Amino acid sequence: MNIRPAKVIDVKKIYSLVNHYADNKEMLHRSLNAIYENIQEFVVLEYENTIVGCGALHVSWSDLAEVKALAVSESFKGKGFGRKIVEKLHENAKYLGIEKVFTLTFKPEFFKKLGYSVIPKETLPHKIWSECVNCHLFPDCGEVPLMISMQ
């Protein structure tokens, strides 16, 4: 098992992992364009030379970043890979000097296991919600906001 920064050659695999779950309404859809433009935010998890997981860290502000687009292939769930990807994104956050990481998710229980706590969405900067305005699920997407300290 190896987690590494994503490359452009990985984009189609990331696209299919994320959109498979988005089709099942477990996360939000992401376009190829959005993945290419933000490829430097992504890590991929390889198992026996195949990409079976991905995740991204998006910096929002001087002290805040978001874990996004986290997905582990169906047949590799429950092996600790999701946790490993989030831990790698936390490592990247710490390297960048980020103090707090949040996520907006339909799977709050998974993130609670990793030390996140549910927060009132109003405590997130307005900037985050202004991005949500462009989503077709706004304002009732049902995603739960959670946060963890990097300190």
Q: Which residues bind ligand COA (CB under 6 A)?
A: 21, 26-27, 70-72, 77-83, 105-107, 109-110, 113
Contact (CB, 8 A) for 147 and 115:
no
- Measure CA of the first residue to CA of the last residue in the chain; give whole Å: 27
Nearer to ligand COA, 83 or 94 (CB): 83
CB of 9 to ligand COA, least distance (A): 21
Residues contacting 65, CB < 8 A, separation 6+: 57, 58, 59, 93, 96, 98, 100, 101, 102
CB of 77 to ligand COA, least distance (A): 3
CB of 122 to ligand COA, least distance (A): 21
Name the residue number minimizing CB distance to ligand COA.
Answer: 82
Contact (CB, 8 A) for 145 and 124:
yes
Nearer to ligand COA, 15 or 21 (CB): 21
Nearer to ligand COA, 24 or 62 (CB): 24
Owner of token pair 């956050």: 93
Mark out the alpha helices in the chain (DSSP H runs): 11-23, 32-37, 81-96, 108-113, 126-132
Nearer to ligand COA, 58 or 79 (CB): 79
Nearer to ligand COA, 47 or 110 (CB): 110
CB of 82 to ligand COA, least distance (A): 2
Q: Which amino acid is at 51?
A: I
CB of 109 to ligand COA, least distance (A): 3
